[in-house]
Chains A and B, each alone.
Chain A
Amino acid sequence: MRFVDEFRSGEVAARLAEQIAALVEPGRRYKVMEVCGGHTHAIYKHGVEDLLPDEIELVHGPGCPVCVIPMGRQDDAIAMAERAEVIFTTFGDMLRVPSSNGSLLDAKARGADVRMVYSPLDALKLARQNPDREVVFFAIGFETTTPSTALTIQRARAEGLRNFFVFCNHVTIIPAIRAILDSPDLRLDGFIGPGHVSTVIGIRPYRFIARDYGRPVVVSGFEPLDVLQGVYMILRQLRDGRSEVENQYSRVVREQGNPLALRAIAETMELRTTFEWRGLGFISQSALKLRPQLAELDAELRYELPGVRVADPKACQCGEVLKGVIKPWECKVFGTACTPDHPIGTCMVSSEGACAAYYNYGRYAGRRRREAAPA
Chain B
Amino acid sequence: MARDERDVLEAIERRRRRPPRKLLDERITLSHGAGGKSTHALVEALFLPELRNPLLEPLADSAIVESNGARLAFSTDSYVVKPLFFPGGDIGELAVNGTVNDLSVAGARPLCLSAGFIVEEGYSAADLRRIAASMARAAAAAGVAVATGDTKVVERGKADGVYVNTSGIGLLERELDLRPARVRPGDRVLVSGTIGDHGMAIMIARGELELEVELASDTAPLASLVETLLDATGGVRVMRDPTRGGVATVLAELALAAEVGIAIDERALPIRPEVNGACEILGIDPLYVANEGKLLAVVAPEEADAALAAVRSHPLGLDARLIGEVRDEPPGLVLLETAFGGSRVVDMLAGDPLPRIC
Q: Residues of A at under 8 Å CB distance from B?
A: 1, 4, 8-10, 13-14, 17, 44-51, 92, 96, 105-106, 108-110, 118, 122, 224-225, 327, 329-330, 334-336, 339-342, 351, 359-366, 368-369, 371-372
Contact = CB atoms under 8 A, between A and B. Distances in A.
Given A1-B277, A47-B341, A341-B41, A364 B28 contact: no
B283 interface: yes
Contacts, number: 122
B333 interface: yes
Interface string B245-257: 0000000000000
A343 B1 CA distance: 25
Contact of B340 (A1, A224, A342): A224
B338 A363 contact: no
A106 B31 CA distance: 11
A44 B345 CA distance: 9
A13 B337 CA distance: 14
A342 B24 contact: yes
B270 interface: no
Interface stretch (B9-17, B72-80, B145-153): B9-17
A327 B2 CA distance: 12
Given A118-B209, A364-B333, 17 more contacts: A1-B273, A1-B276, A13-B340, A47-B340, A50-B341, A96-B351, A105-B29, A106-B27, A336-B12, A339-B350, A360-B345, A364-B330, A364-B344, A364-B345, A365-B343, A368-B1, A369-B343
Contacts of B36: 341
A44 B338 CA distance: 10
Interface of B: 1, 4-6, 8-9, 11-12, 15, 24-31, 36-38, 41, 208-209, 273, 276-277, 280, 282-283, 329-330, 333, 335, 338-345, 347, 350-351, 353
B5 A329 contact: yes
A365 B342 contact: yes
Given A106-B27, A106-B29, A342-B24, A46 B283 contact: no
Given A44-B344, A341-B37, A10 B6 contact: no
A334 B8 contact: yes
Contacts of A329: 5, 8-9
Interface centre among A8, A334, A362, A364 (most CB of B within 10 A): A364
B340 A335 contact: no
A363 B345 contact: yes
Nearest to B344: A361
Contact of A372 (B1, B28, B38): B1
